[in-house]
Chain A
Amino acid sequence: MNQKLSARALARVFLRNGAFTFGGGDATTASLQRELVTHHNWLSKHQFGVCYAVSRLTPGTNLLAFCTAVGWTLLGLRGALWALLLASIPGAAVLMLMTGFYGAATGNPWLMSAIHAALAAAVGIMLAAVWALLRGPLRRSPARTVLVALPALLLSLHGVLSPLQVLALAAGFGLVAPERGAA
């Protein structure tokens, strides 16, 4: 599917992902990557990289900064505001309802079973997003990709560096050792 980019179509994507993606900001970013880059081709991988890096540099919740950056990149200020509002309002409404009915929400085995299954699916979404982001670079220059990805993974996984520091390290590597034919 390669639906034409419009404010309404973009709003639908953010609303859907804001309302239905469980598993936190990284799962939602992964889901948005799939929709915006892989599915609709609205955002290039290059633009995704810029928005992702910016979201890590912005204080507060990375996901909402990412959505704002994507909205700005695609549709300017209007897109940024729509993206921010639509990505946050559904989850906020659900969260307020759950807080209001705190005891009932966490004590309902049916609801919790559905949420546990949705969280498991979020893990699958994140793995699929990782594959979608790495597939191209692995094909283009496998050794270079492993050289960046493996230390980034290990340093982050073991808590040696924060995500921001990992991105800064990767950016530094890209800068001092430019990729041949970078496009």
Chain B
Amino acid sequence: MSAGLLYLLLLKATLTSFSGLSSMPIVRDELVMQYGVLTDSQLNAAVALARAAPGPFGGYVISVGYFVGGVAGGIAGWLALITPALLAIPLVHYVARSTAHPRARSLVNAVIVASAALILAATVPIAMQALGGAALIVIAAGSAVVLAVTGVDTVWVIAASGVAGLLAASLGAPL
């Protein structure tokens, strides 16, 4: 399969979804069922790899692209991932110009509160999957407290956690 066709098929999936993995049914239908260029186990591996890598879970389409077409396929997957985001430009341009009115500001304030609740709701399943032991719970709680009470960069918190994970592995008790 050419990288161009792969890009268009993956773009069809990303353009018709509104969150990371919701594009998967279309990806499976096109690449596994119709074209037969991807296996179900490769699709599962792509999802697992995206969860273990930095960035959005929707990045699994990059792994899918790589499995199908090597580096060129991976680049096609990356392009299919980023293309829909360009639609945010006209949207934010329009919405930002319409929020000067007090009622519109009240609307945005309510959206901010709801967005905090949505982030909290998204944290629950991630926490249930990620915090499989006392040491990991301590790392999560410690990170939250450090970030809430200090001005330290999140990158340092993640780096320190990664070092803790390496130390634990070196002591024969990987996290």
Contact = CB atoms under 8 A, between A and B. Distances in A.
Contact of B115 (A39, A88, A133, A145): A133
B6 interface: no
Interface string B146-173: 1110010111011111111110111000
A104 interface: no
A182 B110 CA distance: 10
A25 B20 contact: yes
A92 B165 contact: no
Interface residues of A, number: 116
A57 B115 CA distance: 13
Interface string A1-30: 100000000000000111111111111111
A149 B143 contact: no
Given A133-B112, A152-B113, A92 B142 contact: no
Q: Chain B at the A interface: mostly helix, strand, loop or mixed?
A: helix
Contacts of A17: 154-155
Interface in A23-55: 23-31, 34-35, 39, 45-55
B1 interface: no
A77 B53 CA distance: 28
Interface string B105-148: 11111111111111111111011001110001101111111111
Contacts of A96: 62-63, 66, 71, 74
Interface residues of B, number: 102
A3 to B, nearest CB: 11
A127 B18 contact: no
B82 interface: yes
B106 to A, nearest CB: 4
Interface string A106-119: 10011011111111
Nearest to A47: B96
21 contacts: A45-B112, A48-B112, A52-B115, A59-B18, A60-B58, A60-B81, A60-B85, A65-B84, A88-B59, A91-B53, A99-B46, A124-B143, A124-B157, A128-B143, A145-B113, A156-B121, A167-B115, A174-B103, A178-B102, A182-B102, A183-B105
Interface of B: 14-20, 45-46, 48-59, 62-63, 66-67, 71, 74, 78, 81-89, 91-93, 95-96, 99, 102-124, 126-127, 130-132, 136-137, 139-148, 151, 153-155, 157-166, 168-170, 174-175
- Interchain residue pairs A-B with the least CB separation, the first 6: A91-B55, A124-B143, A60-B84, A174-B110, A117-B165, A170-B114
Interface of A: 1, 16-31, 34-35, 39, 45-69, 72-73, 77, 80, 84-85, 87-92, 94-96, 98-100, 102, 105-106, 109-110, 112-134, 137, 145, 148-150, 152-153, 156-157, 162-164, 166-167, 169-171, 173-175, 177-179, 182-183
